[in-house]
Amino acid sequence: MSTEIDPALLKILACPEDKGSVLYVAGECIYNPRLHKAYPIRDGIPVMLMNEARQVSDAEHERLMGVAIDPRA
């Protein structure tokens, strides 16, 4: 089973908490840099549930911002 996420899906994903755009961190998470929240990807499916998101530290935020892809760009 492929773990790639459809680029069309990535373009329409939004954070369920603030409804804003999110970034894609390949093989790791969907990331909201405004709230410092990372949503998991399981079996190639983004889990966009607020209770599944994890809070990200400032150091991890910097790392994620260095590797994240903006699917809307």
Segment 48-66, tens digit of pLDDT: 999 999 999 999 999 999 9
* Integer Cα distance of 22 and 57 in angstroms: 17
Percent of the chain with pLDDT over 70: 96
pTM: 0.92
Listed in sequence order, the DSSP H helices in 7-46 are 7-12
Taking the domain 7-67, which CATH number applies?
2.20.25.10
Confidence band of 38 (pLDDT split at 50, 70, 90): very high
Give me the residue spans of the domains in the chain. Answer: 7-67
CA atoms within 13 A on the CB side of 3: 9
1 pLDDT above the threshold of 50: no
